[in-house]
Structure 1
Amino acid sequence: MKKIIKVFVKVLIVLILFIGGFLGYLTVTEYRPDQIEALEISNNQTQKVSLNTTYKAMTYNIGYAGLGSKEDFVMDGGSKGRPDSKEVVLDYLEGTLDILSSHESDFYFLQEVDLKARRSFNLNQVRLIEERLGDGFSSSFAYNFKANFVPFPVSFTDYIGHVESGLLTLSTKQVESSKRHQFPGEFSWPLRIANLKRAMMENTYEIENSDKKLIMVNLHMSAYDGDGSLRKAEMAYLKEFMVAQEALGNYVVIGGDFNQTFPEVKDLFLPKQDYYVAYPIEDDYLPSGYSFQIDPIKPTARLLNQPYDKLDENTQYYLIDGFIVSSNITAFSVINLDYDFLYSDHNPVVLNFKLN
């Protein structure tokens, strides 16, 4: 009996040391970005933005080419932690690339683009997107998720592992500067050491014959925020940013995955069961001089509780992707491109606009 107790104690000590060492390693190597960081601009273009010219912007959460129509995800009530094979990811990615190239845009706001991650079989999606769109685009990348090891979510073999992922903005215009803004708020330790560090990317463009700037913001805001504190902090930061830009008289387009539903459509696509609820943005949230630009007809995202089936009553939809624009911009149209969630759990949204 004593031998059994000794063996148990030894095993327990080894286990404690291993877990302690593992948490220590992740804590020491935790991604700790500055509040604002300058980003590298690749292949910067030479043509500047013009007034009274129509431009097209697309926002698209590509789901790291791992959340297409055949997938579910454990955080949404499914069973899987990552796609079954590299071939599956390549297939979703090829479809995504086809969408980008077939809807030629002046600006692309992409979210959940993996730079290097186990969940997408270490494909450099940033490079592959840049190559497909060609030499006519400047690009900048900002981390939204960076961790050496994420043990979650399913089993010893089905886990996220190493992940480097984030926001990718591409444009046909010359970028004056590109910055990553770290959103305020964070999970408590130890959850934060292997969790997302939500951010927004601010790209600034000079405008011909104007002393004002065009500010293009790509963002991906928090989901699964239990008490709502992260959401509130992020939205307060974004509002303060908009107020500051309005005071400068700049032209502002903000696009991305808000992970919240917009006031105009807060009563649409309501959860059918005990599913994830997209928090409705407050009716009076926007500061003076701004408006939401969304397509209120079709959903932009689906829940990953099961593989996609449009005929199944348990298929849950959301409208959480769209734009905010300043009042000195005319928005001609906003269209949700309905790809039936074939390559991602989101559909792309396209905005046509001009600077007045």
Structure 2
Amino acid sequence: MRKVARVLLTIAIILFAAFAGFLGLVAVTDYRPATITEIQVDNPQEDVVQIRREITITSFNIGYCGLDKHADFFMDGGTMSRAISPEQTAANIDWVSAFLTEQKSDIYFLQEVDRRSRRSYRTEQYTRFCSDLSEYSGSFATNYRVAWVPVPLADPHGNVYSGIATLSRYRVNSAARYSLPGLYPWIKQLFMLDRCTMESRLPTSDGRQLVLANVHLSAFDEGGVIRAQQLAFLKEYAGRELKSGNYLVIGGDWNHLLSSDPKAKQAEYGDAWPFWLQVLPDDFAIEGFGWAVDETVPSCRTLDRPYDPAANIAVNIDGFLVSPGVEIVSVYGHDLGFENSDHNPVTICIRLGTAPANGTDGD
């Protein structure tokens, strides 16, 4: 009996030591960015943004080129932790790159861009897009870097290196990563994203700056507590830029319902409402700023199952918030059927220096 007890104790000690060692490795290698980090602008361009001319910006969460119509995701009620196959990942990358090239927007905001992560079969997506769009500058800000995410145990998420990218036809004088506030409990935080917004400052022909903020807010914070802190940060940030007299466009994946009638949308889905989806709070309003969301085309679908139009919930969480002095000419959601990503891209057309911001929900 004592021998069995000793064996069991030895096994327990070994398992505890292995877990402690693993946790120590993840803690030592934990990505700890500064509050503000200067970001390199690759392949800089020279054209200056002209006021009173139309500028197009497309925001696209590409889902690490792994969350196509065949995929679900373990944190959203599904089971999968990575793309279906290397071949499908390559096909998704090819398709996204072709879309960006053919769309010919002046500026792109991309989210969930992977760089040699296990979940996307170690593909280098940022470099690929920069290469294919050689007439654009590129900036990349890391928001997810973990040595190893051990869940699900049967097929772990694994090592992750991912972030947000901004591509621009125009000159970018500077780019910076701003860490967004809000932390999970310590151990959980080691394996979660370090959310951020990436700022790009573009000179304009009237001597002001067009400030672009590419955002990807938190998704799985219970009750939206962390997201509330992030929205407060963005509200303060927007107020500072407004006082400075610059033009400001904040765009990307807000991970909040963007709707002119959120109560109706919630009633439509009832008990099936996704646990992670928060409604944008009423107090997130900045005088003079306007929203650009195309409510005729949903920008995101749930990942509790592979895509089925009759079963998945599809809502708008991607869009743009623009400052006074930025005219919203149009906003257009691309209905791509979630073929190669769990998001549909959204394109805004703006003009600077022509009118106060005005909200719109479609063309």
Query: What is the TM-score with the length of structure 1 in the denominator?
Result: 0.96
Contact 1:308 / 1:341 at 8 angstroms: preserved in 2?
yes
Task: Output one character per residue of 1:193-244: Cα deviation in whole Å (capped at 9) or x when no partner.
Answer: 111000000000111232x211011010000110322011100000000000
Q: Would you say 1:252 and 2:251 are equivalent positions?
A: no
Partner of 2:237: 241
Distance 1:98 1:74, change over 3 A: same
**AA in 2 matched with 1:49:** V
Q: Displacement, 1:170? A: 0.2
Task: Output one character per residue of 1:296-328: Cα deviation in whole Å (capped at 9) or x when no partner.
Answer: 212100001111111x2x211121000000110
Contact 1:246 / 1:289 at 8 angstroms: preserved in 2?
no
Q: Displacement, 1:247? A: 0.4
Distance 1:105 1:274, change over 3 A: closer
Partner of 1:218: 214
**AA in 1 matched with 2:298:** P
Partner of 1:306: 305
Distance 1:257 1:268, change over 3 A: farther
Partner of 1:203: 200
Q: Displacement, 1:262? A: 2.1
Residues 1-356 of structure 1 mapped to structure 2, 5 A cutoff: 1-134=1-134, 136-152=135-151, 154-156=152-154, 158-210=155-207, 212-267=208-263, 269-270=265-266, 271-272=269-270, 273=272, 275-310=274-309, 312=310, 314-356=311-353
RMSD, aligned α-carbons:
1.2
Secondary structure class of the residue paired with 1:168:
strand
Contact 1:269 / 1:299 at 8 angstroms: preserved in 2?
no
Task: Output one character per residue of 1:78-126: Cα deviation in whole Å (capped at 9) or x when no partner.
Answer: 1211123111101111111121111111000000000120000110000
Secondary structure class of the residue paired with 2:41:
coil
Contact 2:71 / 2:84 at 8 angstroms: preserved in 1?
no
Query: What is the TM-score with the length of structure 2 in the denominator?
Result: 0.94
2: CA distance, partners of 1:266 / 1:124: 38
1: CA distance, partners of 2:185 / 2:197: 21
1: CA distance, partners of 2:180 / 2:206: 33
Secondary structure class of the residue paired with 1:185:
coil
Task: Output one character per residue of 1:22-70: Cα deviation in whole Å (capped at 9) or x when no partner.
Answer: 1111111111000000001100001111111111000000000000001
Q: Displacement, 1:264? A: 1.2
1: CA distance, partners of 2:283 / 2:2: 69
Contact 1:37 / 1:179 at 8 angstroms: preserved in 2?
yes
Moved over 4 A (4+): none
2: CA distance, partners of 1:291 / 1:186: 29
Contact 1:263 / 1:282 at 8 angstroms: preserved in 2?
no
Deviating more after overlay: 264-273 vs 21-30: 264-273
Distance 1:274 1:256, change over 3 A: closer
Distance 1:215 1:16, change over 3 A: same
1: CA distance, partners of 2:332 / 2:162: 26
Q: Displacement, 1:268? A: 5.2
Q: Displacement, 1:288? A: 1.3
Secondary structure class of the residue paired with 1:247:
helix
2: CA distance, partners of 1:340 / 1:4: 58
Q: Displacement, 1:269? A: 4.4
Secondary structure class of the residue paired with 1:167:
strand
Secondary structure class of the residue paired with 2:160:
strand
* Percent identity of equivalent pairs: 35
How many aligned positions are there?
350
Contact 1:30 / 1:147 at 8 angstroms: preserved in 2?
yes
Runs of 5+ consecutive residues of structure 2 not aligned to the other structure: 354-363
Secondary structure class of the residue paired with 1:228:
helix
2: CA distance, partners of 1:112 / 1:249: 31
Secondary structure class of the residue paired with 1:163:
strand
**AA in 2 matched with 1:224:** F
Distance 1:287 1:274, change over 3 A: closer
1: CA distance, partners of 2:230 / 2:79: 30
